[in-house]
């Protein structure tokens, strides 16, 4: 008879070990999946996790992509993790990402074709504002009426996608684009281009902001009273209220910061790697960031590593698609499986396995 | 715009069709939540049901097998959520989100070869004289069997929860799992059964989308229907008949906006397409402003038997 016994404290060993175990389990089951799809499992796993970094032939091309993909994931996941710590479930980061991109791009395009070093900072600011405002909708509805933020933030993703469709074929469409949908290309406008900072590394302003966010979140959560209150709200809401924490303020702060970071991530993507507002520039980073946040144990440093790993699966997935003909959707499943295994393995963090008969009380 | 092009008879008839998938998913999720489990993976289970149902129906040529397979596949998928949340005591919100992500990935993987195909669809039932009633017959009595099955399921769930002993036990588990456990009921087993039922219902709803409503397979075709189903459970205050009302209301909004788009209404298309989601939010706000009535007390809380 196996039974579970609650640990008085979460195990520190397992907190670190469970993501590693989850990744290994995902590799095993992912390998089985690839075998079913007719690819050599060992080759597939190597293509996904090893080749993008170390293959002599194309690693030079894929390595910069790592930071390009990890930047937005980390930036969004850091924001989400702060909310998740407080038990506030913003799962509409994808919508905030889109709205940030639209607002930031619109602010930039409003002054086209001016050239000033202030344009990109202004766009970043408006990007953050756009994401923030979009996240404030569930925030205010939750604090004012007690509406469930999970459902509202998610519904707003679909609303944002519709706004994106209008923007790319309507009010933000490139007037010189011969009627094709999509905005002006920021890559052709130096003042607004979120260019690579060090060439050949993939490092752009968004990646830099992601690293800053990691440091900021770490300081906030471990060294600041607000971070303490956020953690307290998540772990013991009643205790938090008795100690004078205003729950409404925590809700608004958590949703606001995650929205602003997601909005910035959207703007960096549009002004940099994506280049323009188009109907499908968003590639689901807002949802993958949820996996990143959990895989990183809701801890800033963990999220940094998890973001890099998840970026690797994106690049490796594309590579596997190209080299081995593995369907692209299998990577999405692969990422979902990772979250599943992680949540399952997590049982060891909070519980101890006991074998044998239970003692009589 | 030309409103006269909208035929009210066809409008009501198509509302019944468009409400059915959401109704199926929502009534299943309501039972799950009544047992005290919050499964946010409805979207993932629905889309898995949609693709499995479509694939089986295309391969066997029989939509009935498609529906059956969809129910089984989604129930099996929901049991993975059940194992994680009930045995491994994982966070229900996170696991539900994970289930959605897994379902979306799985479905696009399975569905790739089926894109652009046509499936056999359900025949319209011939209800004899009922279908021949001039206006009402076309509106209400000339649908396929799943439309009526969904309504019968609502009645069944209502009767089960209200009049049977098993229904009472299920509700007790949802209100206070510790008390139910102390009385000797197997909380985990009851919840697993509820989760599997919810999964099967979501699968049927998804299969209805891909086999009747559309009828085609496209990636991400549920487009938030599973989330709307979740919202409807809240809207309905966890009562079966209100779930039906909610689903028909949302079915109405969806159909109406499609009709307005087709009629060339003087409203931006994006606003019309977004309207079901915006209205969902508005309804949630109104409901929550009144206070939460009827949410099971143990909803979303993990159960760990210490003795």
Chain B residues closer than 8 Å to A346 by CB: 88, 90
The residue behind tokens 């996996």 is: A291
The residue behind tokens 């060891």 is: A348
Question: Given a cut of 90, is residue A168 above it in pLDDT?
Answer: no
What 3 state SS string does chain A have? CEEEEECCCCCHHHHHHHHHHHHHHHHHHHHHHHHHCCCCHHHHHHHHHCHHHHCCCCHHHHHHHHHHHHHHHHHHHHHHHHHHHCCCCCCCHHHHHHHHHHHHHHHHHHCCCCCCCCHHHHHHHHHHHHHHHHHHHHHHHHHHHCCCHHHHHHHHHHHHHHHHHHHHHCCCCCCCCCCCCCCCCHHHCHHHCCCCCECCCCECHHHHHHHHHHHHHHHHHHHCHHHHHHHHHHHCHHHHHHCCCCHHHHHHHHHHHHHHHHHHHHHHHHHCCCCCCCCCCCCCHHHHHHHHHHHCCCCHHHHHHHHHHHHHHHHHHHHHHHHHCCCCHHHHHHHHHHHHHHHHHCHHHHEEEEECCCCCC
Question: Given a cut of 70, is residue A305 above it in pLDDT?
Answer: yes
Chain A residues closer than 8 Å to B275 by CB: none
Q: What is the mean pLDDT of residues A32-41?
A: 82
In whole angstroms, what is the distance from residue B127 CA to residue B269 CA? 38
- How much is the mean pLDDT over chain A? 86
| Omega within 30 of 0 (cis) for the link into A223 | no
In whole angstroms, what is the distance from residue B21 CA to residue B19 CA? 6
In whole angstroms, what is the distance from residue B295 CA to residue A4 CA? 29
Q: Would you state the pLDDT for residue A195?
A: 75
∠ Cα A344 A347 A353 (to 5°): 125
The shortest C-alpha distance from B162 to chain A (Å) reads 27
B window 67-106, beta carbon within 8 A of A: 80, 83-84, 88-91, 93-95, 97-99, 101-106
The shortest C-alpha distance from B295 to chain A (Å) reads 13
How many domains is chain B built from? 1
Residues in chain B: 307
The C-alpha torsion from A241 through A247 and A249 to A253, rounded to 10°, is 120
Question: Given a cut of 90, is residue A76 above it in pLDDT?
Answer: yes
Question: Given a cut of 80, is residue B256 above it in pLDDT?
Answer: yes
Tokens at residue A175, please?
């007037």
Q: What is the CATH number of the domain that holds B218?
A: 1.10.3470
Asked if B27 and B153 touch (Cβ cutoff 8 Å), the reply is yes
Closest Cβ–Cβ partner in B93, B112, B271 for A89: B93
Chain A residues closer than 8 Å to B115 by CB: none
Nearest alpha carbon to residue A100 among A149, A167, A148: A167
- How much is the mean pLDDT over chain B? 85
Q: Would you state the pLDDT for residue B2?
A: 58
* pLDDT tens profile A240-259: 889 888 889 999 999 999 99
* pLDDT tens profile B113-166: 888 787 777 777 666 676 677 767 666 777 788 888 899 999 999 999 999 999
B window 248-267, beta carbon within 8 A of A: none
CB contact under 8 A, A91 and B97: yes
CATH code for residues A60-326: 1.10.3470
Q: Does A320 touch chain B (CB under 8 A)?
A: no
Question: Given a cut of 90, is residue A43 above it in pLDDT?
Answer: no
Tokens at residue B258, please?
């499609």
Q: What is the mean pLDDT of residues A312-332?
A: 83
Q: Would you state the pLDDT for residue A1?
A: 62
The shortest C-alpha distance from A91 to chain B (Å) reads 9
Q: Would you state the pLDDT for residue A254?
A: 93
Q: What is the mean pLDDT of residues B209-224?
A: 84
Greater pLDDT, B56 or A5: B56
Q: CA neighbours within 13 Å on the CB side: how many for B207? A: 34
CB contact under 8 A, B278 and A343: no
Which of A6-20, A164-178, A187-201, B269-283 comes out lowest in average pLDDT?
Answer: A187-201
Give me the phi and psi of A3, to 5 degrees please: -140, 165
Chain B residues closer than 8 Å to A166 by CB: 268-270
Asked if A172 and A105 touch (Cβ cutoff 8 Å), the reply is yes
CB contact under 8 A, A150 and B40: yes
Q: What is the mean pLDDT of residues A103-114?
A: 86
Q: What is the mean pLDDT of residues B243-271?
A: 83
Question: Given a cut of 50, is residue A4 above it in pLDDT?
Answer: yes
Greater pLDDT, A33 or B74: B74
Closest Cβ–Cβ partner in B97, B274, B289 for A158: B274
Closest Cβ–Cβ partner in A156, A158, A339 for B98: A339
Question: Given a cut of 60, is residue A359 above it in pLDDT?
Answer: no
Q: Which residues pair with A203 in a beta bridge?
A: A198
Strands A2-6 and A351-355: antiparallel
Q: Would you state the pLDDT for residue B79?
A: 92
A window 129-188, beta carbon within 8 A of B: 141, 145-148, 150-152, 154-156, 158-159, 162-163, 165-166
Nearest CA in chain A to B281: A152
Q: Would you state the pLDDT for residue B126?
A: 67
Which of A182-186, A217-221, B176-180 comes out lowest in average pLDDT?
Answer: A182-186
A305-314, A318-327, A349-358 — most confident range: A305-314
Instruction: Enumerate residues 6+ apart whose C-beta is below 8 A from A269.
Output: A72, A97, A101, A206, A281, A282, A285
- Count of CB atoms within 10 A of residue A346's CB? 26
* pLDDT tens profile A279-299: 888 778 888 898 899 888 889
- Residue B221's domain spans which residues? 3-289
Chain A residues closer than 8 Å to B283 by CB: none
Q: Would you state the pLDDT for residue A17?
A: 84
Q: Which of A159, A285, A331, A335 to mutate to test the interface with B (most CBs of B within 10 A)?
A: A159
The shortest C-alpha distance from A334 to chain B (Å) reads 8
The shortest C-alpha distance from B277 to chain A (Å) reads 5
Q: Would you state the pLDDT for residue B5?
A: 65
The C-alpha torsion from B139 through B140 and B142 to B143, rounded to 10°, is 110
Question: Given a cut of 90, is residue B25 above it in pLDDT?
Answer: yes
DSSP 8-class letter at B122: P
Q: What is the mean pLDDT of residues A76-101?
A: 92
Residue A361 confidence class, pLDDT cut points 50, 70, 90: very low
Q: What is the mean pLDDT of residues A258-276?
A: 90
Instruction: Enumerate residues 6+ apart whose C-beta is below 8 A from A16.
Output: none
Radius of gyration of chain A (CA): 22
Per-domain residue ranges for chain A? 1-29+335-361, 60-326
Percent of chain B at pLDDT exceeding 70: 93
* pLDDT tens profile B178-208: 888 888 888 889 999 999 999 999 999 999 9
Greater pLDDT, B162 or B289: B162
The shortest C-alpha distance from A24 to chain B (Å) reads 18
CB contact under 8 A, B108 and A287: no
């Amino acid at each position: 008879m196996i039974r579970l016994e609650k640990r008085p404290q979460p195990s520190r060993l397992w907190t670190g070990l469970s993501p590693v175990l989850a990744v290994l389990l995902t590799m095993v089951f992912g390998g089985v999946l690839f075998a079913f799809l007719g690819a050599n499992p060992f080759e597939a796993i190597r293509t996904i996790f090893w080749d993008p970094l170390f293959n002599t032939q194309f690693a030079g091309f894929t390595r910069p992509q790592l930071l390009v993909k990890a930047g937005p994931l980390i930036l969004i996941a850091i924001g989400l993790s702060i909310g998740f710590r407080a038990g506030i479930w913003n799962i509409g980061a994808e919508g905030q990402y889109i709205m940030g991109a639209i607002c930031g791009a619109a602010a930039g395009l409003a002054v086209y074709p001016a050239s000033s070093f202030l344009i990109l900072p202004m766009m970043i600011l408006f990007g953050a504002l756009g994401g923030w405002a979009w996240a404030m909708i569930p925030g205010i509805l939750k604090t004012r009426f007690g509406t469930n933020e999970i459902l509202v933030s998610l519904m707003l993703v679909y609303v944002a996608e519709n706004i994106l469709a209008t923007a790319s074929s309507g009010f933000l469409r490139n007037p010189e684009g011969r009627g094709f949908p999509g905005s002006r290309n920021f890559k052709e406008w130096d003042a607004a281009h979120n260019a690579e900072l060090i060439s050949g590394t993939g490092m752009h302003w968004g990646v830099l902001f992601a690293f800053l966010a990691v440091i900021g979140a770490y300081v906030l959560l471990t060294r600041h009273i607000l971070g303490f209150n956020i953690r307290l709200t998540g772990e013991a809401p009643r205790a938090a209220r008795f100690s004078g924490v205003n729950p409404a303020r925590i809700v608004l702060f958590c949703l606001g910061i995650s929205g602003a970071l997601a909005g910035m991530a959207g703007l960096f993507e549009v002004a940099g790697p994506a280049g323009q507002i188009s109907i499908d520039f968003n590639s689901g980073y807002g949802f993958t960031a949820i996996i990143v946040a959990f895989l990183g144990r809701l801890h800033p440093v963990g999220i940094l590593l998890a973001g890099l790993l998840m970026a690797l699966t994106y690049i490796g997935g594309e590579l596997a698609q190209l080299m081995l003909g593995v369907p692209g959707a299998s990577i999405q499943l692969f990422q979902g499986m990772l979250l599943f295994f992680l949540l399952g393995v997590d049982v060891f963090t909070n519980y101890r396995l006991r074998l044998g008969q239970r003692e009589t009380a | 715009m030309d409103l006269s092009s909208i035929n009210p008879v066809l409008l009501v008839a198509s509302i019944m069709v468009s409400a059915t998938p959401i109704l199926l998913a929502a009534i299943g999720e309501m039972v799950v939540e009544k047992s005290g489990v919050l499964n946010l993976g409805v979207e993932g289970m629905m889309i898995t049901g949609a693709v499995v149902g479509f694939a089986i129906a295309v391969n066997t040529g029989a939509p009935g097998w498609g529906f059956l397979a969809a129910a089984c596949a989604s129930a099996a998928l929901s049991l993975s959520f059940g194992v994680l949340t009930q045995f491994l005591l994982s966070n229900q919100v996170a696991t539900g989100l994970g289930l959605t992500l897994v379902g979306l990935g799985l479905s696009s993987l399975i569905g790739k070869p089926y894109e652009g195909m046509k499936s056999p669809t359900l025949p319209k039932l011939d209800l004899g004289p009922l279908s021949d009633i001039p206006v009402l017959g076309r509106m209400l009595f000339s649908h396929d069997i799943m439309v009526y099955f969904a309504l019968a399921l609502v009645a069944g769930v209502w009767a089960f929860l209200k009049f049977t002993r098993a229904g009472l036990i299920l509700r007790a588990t949802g209100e206070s799992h510790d008390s139910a456990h102390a009385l000797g009921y197997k909380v985990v087993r009851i919840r697993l059964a509820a989760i599997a039922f919810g999964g099967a219902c979501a699968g049927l709803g998804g299969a209805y989308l891909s086999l009747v409503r559309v009828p085609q397979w496209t990636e991400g075709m549920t487009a938030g229907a599973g989330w709307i189903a979740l919202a409807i459970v809240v809207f309905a205050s966890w009562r079966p008949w209100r779930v039906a009302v909610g689903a028909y209301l949302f079915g109405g909004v969806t159909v109406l906006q499609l009709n307005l788009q087709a009629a060339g209404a003087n409203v931006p298309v994006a606003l019309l397409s977004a309207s079901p989601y915006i209205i969902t939010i508005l309804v949630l706000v109104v409901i929550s402003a009144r206070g939460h009535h009827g949410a099971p007390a143990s909803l979303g809380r993990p159960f760990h038997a210490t003795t």
